[in-house]
Structure 1
């Protein structure tokens, strides 16, 4: 049972940290960068990225990423 609770607690802590960041950070790019960093460093994710929809080209453009190999996301651009 303890093994099932720990990942849930980790996700709740991550959500709390992201919410605090949303309240504190005013710059959109800095917000995206911080959320990715928090998810990797504190949330335990190997790779996190945030993308925005480019309506004209009908694609999702990665705007921030962290973890695994940072060059991975750059290579798929």
Structure 2
């Protein structure tokens, strides 16, 4: 069997393994955070739609400023 860098023999993780594990943990936390934000946005939209259905009115009553294409909050990265 070919010995690789991961087979250090002493049971110790290499620096790359530790870095990879930390990156995986970080990305997992970020994905969870983003999923929570999307869920909150959908819940807000659903509440607004229920309010419109109960009280009448049109879709123009929706507060969808955060979903517009030119919204600066959506452009966080160049």
Question: TM-score range with shorter-chain normalisation?
Answer: 0.3 to 0.5
Higher relative contact order (CA 8 A, sep 6+): 1
- TM-score of the superposition, structure 2-length normalised? 0.44
Which structure has the larger Rg over C-alpha atoms? 2
